[in-house]
Structure 1
Amino acid sequence: MAAAVGLRGDFTAAAVRRLAHGSRDAGQVRRLLSLAAIYGGGSRSAAALVGGVGLQTVRDWVLRFNRDGPDGLIDGKAPGGRPRLDASQRAALAAAVERGPIPAAHGVVRWRLVDLVQWVQDEFAVSISPQTLGRELRAMGYRKLSARPRHHAQEAETIPAFKKNFPAQVAAIRAALPRGTPIELWWQDEARVGQKNGITRRWAKRGTRPSAPKDQRTASAYIYGAICPAEGKGAALVLPRCNTEGMTLHLAEVAATVAPGAHAVLLLDQAGWHLSAGLVIPANITLLPLPVKCPELNPVENVWQFMRDNWLSNRIFKSYDDILDHCCFAWNRLTDQPWRIMSIGLRQWAHGS
């Protein structure tokens, strides 16, 4: 056993016990009380008994206390192993993930962990497991997410330009109304629901392939749906087809849902029946067409996805009337949850903070 090391002289037993009393670190409290026994005239063996450790450990505590004071008795975080990738390699990996693979060069159309493992090996001659690379990507903020569809012919500046000009368009509509007229922002779209229904993901044991019923019949109906996210309200009709007559009926339904004295700015895509010359537009509604090939600007698209995932998919519809009943049930359930409409539909670029 090495010779005993003396404790620094700027502390007393009482002072060390006071530090232990005020500490919230259990390990530091145990070590301080052990050293307080030495300051009080006790032997190193007595101090080891207080700390529940051996003499060598007490000696290590004394050295740490002499060097760093009470803070030296707090356990530091273990440094862990040396990272497999350095900062520059992580930056290159992030750039590769953002770019995506080149099918002709990499042989895949989307990155999997095994593909990125091979990419890291080719680029940096670094061997890394898929599990470790997955942790690296998660630490960098990446997750495996479903891609949002984008029209292949969409121009890159269309959506930013529409968002930038949107306040001015609403202001122009407001200027044509009587002073003080409240404005409600609404979005509208249609969704086809039919016997050829969708199948969603579901929980199942790994290695199994869960099944779900799938119909081959073709009866269907259309939900004409509109939401006002700021107010958490909606208006819908379920009709057999999409045409100008159906859209006129739906606009009347929306007009009846707009608050008395308010005016609705209704954003919608440029389908033929939305902009038809024969469309009857109520006085308390102004139509504001969205840019072509930009469905992601319309939050009603997300409403349809939510309704299908939770209430409309994985079903067999017995008849057209059964489709109507389920569509009405799903929409009424949505409008009974105004917070859901707000959560799905609110957009920073349209509604502000």
Structure 2
Amino acid sequence: MKTRKRFLKNLVNKLEECRIILNKNNFKSVNLYFQDESRLGLITKQKRVITAKGIKAIGTYKHSYLYNWLWGSFSPITGESFCMTTQSVCKELFIKYLEDFSNHKPTELKIIIIDNAAFHSTKDVIIPQNIFLLPIPPYYPELNPAEKIWQWMKDKIAMKIYNTLAELNQKMEELIKTAEN
């Protein structure tokens, strides 16, 4: 309960900061994004399948520990997305992601809802002028709709074998384009 009250109080202060930024700067547009990252790898994701009674489902399986991290920001307003693939997650890569995302549409103010991952700490970090970060409370992943997008993508690649990370990344790019439409 205390976390919730603290979050709501912080939310009011953050939105006031955002209002001040909008009055100071001349952005051509403002957009809301939900940001998250997910690990995707070559190990086959298994899931349940429907079969006739008495028939056991047979699926191929690949056991591999090669994976990439997919960083994504998704707008529920316009349907736009911005994604970046990396080999790991860390604060330096988060900063690079923010810089790249800032350059994606430099005249747009991006209000980004982020989770409280350790590498999202913005202490000693210069955040680009057109990005405003709004963290959700810790341990509330259900407040971030980007989690649903990752689950949808992982369901689409389940029970399929990808031989290389490049092949998997190509499939993920196709799914992102599909999600935008």
Tell me the TM-score normalized by structure 1: 0.45
1:192 aligns with 2:34: no
Deviations 1:234-271 (A, max 9, x none): 1111111011222122112321333x522111111111
Runs of 4+ in 1 over 3 A off after TM superposition: 156-168, 179-182, 276-280
Structure 1 alignment gaps of length 5 or more: 1-155, 340-353
Deviations 1:76-109 (A, max 9, x none): xxxxxxxxxxxxxxxxxxxxxxxxxxxxxxxxxx
**Greater share of helix:** 1
Deviation at 1:285, TM superposition (A): 0.6
1:267 aligns with 2:113: yes
Query: What is the SS of the residue equivalent to 2:39?
Result: strand
Distance 1:301 1:253, change over 3 A: same
Contact 2:153 2:175 in 1 (8 A): no
Contact 1:269 1:292 in 2 (8 A): yes
Of the two, which has the highest radius of gyration? 1
Distance 1:299 1:159, change over 3 A: farther
**Greater share of strand:** 2
Question: 2:99 corresponds to which residue?
Answer: 252
Contact 1:190 1:222 in 2 (8 A): yes
Paired with 1:221 and 1:279, the residues of 2 have a C-alpha distance of: 25
Question: 2:134 corresponds to which residue?
Answer: 288
1:316 aligns with 2:161: yes
Aligned residues: 179
Higher relative contact order (Cα pairs below 8 Å, separated by 6+ residues): 2
Contact 1:221 1:323 in 2 (8 A): yes
Question: 2:148 corresponds to which residue?
Answer: 302
Tell me the TM-score normalized by structure 2: 0.82
Quote the sequence identity (%).
23
Paired with 1:324 and 1:268, the residues of 2 have a C-alpha distance of: 27
Contact 2:42 2:168 in 1 (8 A): no
Paired with 2:170 and 2:86, the residues of 1 have a C-alpha distance of: 11
Paired with 1:293 and 1:330, the residues of 2 have a C-alpha distance of: 27
Contact 1:189 1:301 in 2 (8 A): yes
Distance 1:329 1:215, change over 3 A: closer
Which stretch of structure 1 is more off in the superposition, 220-229 or 326-335?
A: 326-335
Query: What is the SS of the residue equivalent to 1:198?
Result: coil
Paired with 2:131 and 2:144, the residues of 1 have a C-alpha distance of: 18
Structure 2 alignment gaps of length 5 or more: none
